[in-house]
């Protein structure tokens, strides 16, 4: 099966999964069930009809407004759905048609959800991170076994542990500069980065810190945050990991060869 065809199918599933991500990112931090009650308009509380719950398409057809009360529907919903579709499609292109591909699709969905919660409530919920990490480990191990690459899996575990310990030390030294949620997230990111290579892990760590630092400086310059303000670092770590999975090996080769 051609990679382009699989990437297209993955994009469709990404739209569907992205719709669920919107629900999880909103309800889990609020200690709500992700299955009950059914989705409803936050303004008039009318349950959303099935035909109005088609990812991306329904929002466009409704022109971003509720069918019942005409209240605006946040553009965040279709943006997240589209972003998930792009991430799923990109995962197919970057990882290829390997047995570990489902693990990386799961990784993309979980990390995007954690980015949203960290931006919303400055917290990385254990209810998402713990099961997300466990399922990710199982999928990665299964893929490694099928691909006959079990040694790579154990390297990934070692990389996850290294990233975890590194951020644990940084968190203890920074005294509040990093939350423990960032430390636990580091294991998940390290696991999937190191499955590719140690160089990709190094690039992911460096890019995450660089992105986080750049955002912090920009917020300080524009006075959107003070020196003592808590700035979510999880999104920077995740975006650094995404960039490393795409460009990390090339960046490492260029740096080590220079």
Confidence (pLDDT) at 245: 96
More confident residue, 173 or 201: 201
| 177 backbone dihedrals φ, ψ, rounded to 5° | -70, -30
- Beta strands, E only, 70-164: none
SS3 state at 40 = strand
- The pLDDT value recorded for residue 205 is 96
- Read off the pLDDT of residues 127-141 as tens digits, 9 standing for 90 and up: 999 999 999 999 999
Spell out the alpha helix ranges (H) of 28-75. Answer: 57-61
Query: What's the whole-number average pLDDT of the chain?
Result: 91
Q: Where are the beta strands (DSSP E) in the chain?
A: none
0.85 exceeded by pTM? yes
pLDDT at position 176: 64
Measure the CA angle with vertex 45, ends 41 and 47; round to 5°.
Answer: 70
The more confidently predicted of residues 67 and 163 is: 163
For the stretch 55-83, pLDDT in tens is 999 999 988 898 889 889 899 999 999 99
- The H or E element spanning position 12 is helix 3-27
Which pair of structure tokens corresponds to residue 159? 């990389």
State pLDDT tens for residues 196-233: 999 999 999 999 999 988 988 887 787 676 666 677 88
Sign of the four-CA dihedral 190, 196, 199, 205 = negative
CA-atom Rg of the chain in angstroms: 19
pLDDT score of 2: 87
Lowest mean pLDDT among 101-105, 107-111, 156-160, 249-253: 249-253
Report the pLDDT value the prediction gives residue 53, as an integer from 0 to 100: 87
pLDDT at 68: 86
The phi, psi pair for 100, rounded to 5°, reads -85, 0
pLDDT (0 to 100) of residue 249: 86
In angstroms, the CA 80 to CA 243 distance is 18
Nearest to 204 by CA among 230, 183, 186: 186
- Give the separation between CA 72 and CA 245, rounded to whole angstroms: 37
Mean pLDDT on 24-45? 87
3-state class of 32 per DSSP? coil
Tokens of 184: 């636990």
Distance in Å from the first CA to the final CA of the chain:
39
pLDDT of residue 202: 96
Of residues 143 and 227, the one with the higher pLDDT is 143
Give the span between the Cα atoms of 159 and 182, in whole angstroms.
Answer: 16
Q: Which of 32-36, 38-42, 75-79 has the lowest mean pLDDT?
A: 38-42
Q: Per-residue pLDDT for 118 more than 90? A: yes
State residue 226's pLDDT score: 62
Closest CA to 29 of 144, 154, 114: 114
């Amino acid at each position: 099966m051609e990679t382009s065809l699989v990437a297209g199918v993955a994009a469709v599933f990404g739209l569907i999964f992205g719709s669920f991500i919107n629900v999880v990112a909103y309800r889990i931090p609020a200690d709500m069930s992700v299955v009950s009650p059914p989705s409803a308009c936050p303004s008039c509380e009318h349950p959303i009809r099935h035909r109005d719950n088609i990812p991306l398409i329904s929002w466009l057809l409704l022109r971003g407004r509720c069918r019942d009360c005409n209240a605006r529907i946040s553009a965040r919903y279709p943006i997240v759905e589209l972003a998930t579709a792009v991430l799923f499609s990109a995962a197919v292109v970057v990882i290829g048609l390997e047995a570990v591909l489902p693990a990386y699709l799961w990784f993309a969905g979980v990390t995007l959800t954690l980015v949203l919660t960290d931006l919303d409530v400055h917290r990385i919920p254990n209810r998402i991170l713990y099961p997300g990490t466990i399922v990710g480990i199982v999928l990665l191990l299964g893929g490694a076994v099928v691909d006959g690459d079990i040694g790579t899996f154990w390297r990934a575990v070692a990389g996850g542990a290294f990233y975890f310990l590194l951020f644990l030390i940084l968190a203890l030294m920074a005294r509040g500069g990093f939350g423990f949620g960032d430390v636990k997230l580091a294991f998940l990111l390290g696991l999937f980065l190191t499955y590719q290579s140690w160089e990709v892990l190094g690039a992911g760590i460096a890019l995450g810190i660089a992105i986080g630092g750049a955002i912090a400086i920009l917020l300080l310059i524009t006075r959107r945050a003070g020196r003592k303000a808590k700035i979510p670092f999880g999104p920077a770590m995740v975006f650094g990991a995404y960039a490393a999975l795409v460009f990390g090996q090339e960046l490492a080769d260029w740096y080590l060869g220079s």
